[in-house]
């Protein structure tokens, strides 16, 4: 059996669950400091943000503005936008990062592995052949060899051009 062990994410999930009653996914877009939050683009129903505790370089989150915990709680229009943004995000990452594959996932509920189960979000994780190794298991260390701020700066213009009106 393979086990996904990601201890480097513990500080993030603990901080978002225990610091206050406010949801990090609700407060980040309201802060209006997109560069500090690594928020790439805003759309009618969702925003796209870089994951500050990524599984891999370029790990993005597509987050609904509405605080919902389930995919079926979104309107049909919001679901359509989510799929369109997922497609566009994959296209941009493939173009810029030259990744060889992509994981797309939505963890609904704590039992599914959701770190923030009360506010659903979609993960877009670029993958490369051989991007996993022994470091996270043996040394409790995940190596991300790309500076997130530089990556944000490189990706931002492409996400700024995304239009979802009428898909």
Greatest Cα pair distance in the chain: 48
121 classed as catalytic: yes
Tokens 């052949």 appear where? 129
Distance of CA 113 to the CA centre of its chain: 14
Which residues have C-beta within 8 Å of that of residue 93, sequence separation ≥ 6?
58, 60, 99, 102, 124, 126, 155
* Set 43, 46, 59, 121: catalytic member: 121
- By the 10 Å C-beta count (0-12 exposed, 13-18 middle, 19+ buried), 44 is classed as exposed
DSSP 52: S
Q: How far apart are CA 42 and CA 14, in angstroms?
A: 26
Which residues are marked as active site? 121
């Amino acid at each position: 059996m393979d086990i996904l062990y990601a201890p480097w994410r513990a500080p993030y999930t603990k901080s978002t669950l225990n610091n206050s009653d406010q949801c990090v996914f609700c407060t980040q877009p309201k802060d209006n400091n997109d560069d500090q939050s690594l928020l790439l683009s805003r759309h009618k129903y969702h925003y796209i943000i870089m994951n500050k505790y990524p599984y891999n370089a370029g790990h993005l989150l597509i987050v609904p503005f509405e605080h919902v915990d389930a995919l079926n709680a979104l309107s049909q229009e919001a679901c359509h936008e989510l799929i369109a943004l997922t497609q566009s995000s994959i296209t941009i990452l493939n173009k810029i990062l030259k990744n060889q594959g992509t994981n797309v996932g939505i963890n609904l509920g704590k039992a599914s592995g959701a770190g923030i189960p009360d506010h659903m979000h979609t993960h877009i994780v670029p993958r490369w052949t051989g991007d996993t190794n022994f470091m996270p298991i043996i040394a409790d260390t995940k190596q991300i060899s790309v500076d997130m701020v530089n990556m944000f700066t490189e990706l931002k213009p492409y996400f700024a051009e995304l239009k979802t009106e009428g898909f």
